[in-house]
Amino acid sequence: MKPLAELLSTNDVGELLEHIRSMTALVERDGTLVSWNPAFEVCRKLFPTANNLQDFFPQNDKNRVTSGLASKTEEHWIAKLPAPLSEAEIFIYCDCMLIPISEEHLLFVAEEVNSESAFQEVIERLNRQVKLFQIESEVSKKIARNKQIEMEGVMIQAQEVAQIDALTFLLNRRMIVRKLQDEVLRAERYNSLLSISVVDVDHFKVVNDTYGHPVGDEALRQVAGQLQDHVRQPDIVGRYGGEEFLILLPSSDANAAAEQAMRLCKEIRKMIIPINHSEQALSVTISVGIAQFRKGVDTWDTLLSRADTAMYKAKNNGRDRWSTAD
């Protein structure tokens, strides 16, 4: 069987780049943009004065871009970029590649990492890089030091990816439960306040059944964004599972958690979720269950169970509201 590249014409490749969702751009060796596809145009709209590839990345990723531009081999890294084909200013994790195609030009490709399997693939590739750096570090002390710095960066990225929920980019279930356990131990040891809120999207099954899972996924992403944007700096938000989220409120009593729940219900109620790029849109509501930690009585799982029971009480009372555990 002939390689696909041999069977495609220049027109075929051009047509393909126009329609794929991956952000693709041709750049010069100094990073100057030459040409790009429609998916990359999202970045151009958010950064209208940017003419160099480095201008689209946060400060901590600029060194990776500079290294990739100077390299004669393909470079990979994970970075946050604007979501392709989205009219809203939504940032997503992308698997970024810089591929040399001539002495003067490189091809930049950024592909969204949006599933558990994709995240796992990235983790495995990063782990392979770590092993390669470990082998190379034996060559010389000077190379070992440079590779050690690079390896530490890759390991930090791999650890961060393993802690993130692939859909919402909040902490995943394992990490939010670990944070809950840590906060309960801290509250017990220092006799400090702690409250938690269990948040559930109302009638979410109806949303999935009526509009399809892509719309349901978008609803969860937007709810997650509102939760993250409208909690205090010390508070921690994670996706507990399905359409359920967990908020930890250190140094807060149930009254403070209730005030927060009132704000969250209001903000979620105002959300407008587009349906399949049509003029239609939908809105959702949430039910919130609140529980305050009782020293000497609660463990992390009994605290969580009390908040979950309060959440179902809010649903039984009509949804789009909150309830506090006894």
Q: Catalytic: which of 18, 75, 243, 279? A: 243
Name 56's Cβ contacts closer than 8 Å, sequence gap at least 6: 43, 47, 50, 81
The helix/strand/coil state of 96 is strand
Q: Which residue has the tokens 């209730």?
A: 258
In whole angstroms, give the CA distance from residue 130 to residue 87.
37
The helix/strand/coil state of 274 is strand
The strand order across the sheet containing 91-100 reads 33-36, 23-28, 105-112, 91-100, 75-82
Instruction: Locate the DSSP E strands across the chain.
Output: 23-28, 33-36, 75-82, 91-100, 105-112, 194-201, 236-241, 244-250, 273-274, 281-282, 286-292, 321-324
Side-chain-facing half-sphere of 300: CA atoms under 13 Å:
14
243 in active site: yes
In whole angstroms, give the CA distance from residue 271 to residue 191.
38
Q: 23 with 94: CB under 8 angstroms?
A: yes
Q: Would you name the residues annotated as active-site residues?
A: 243
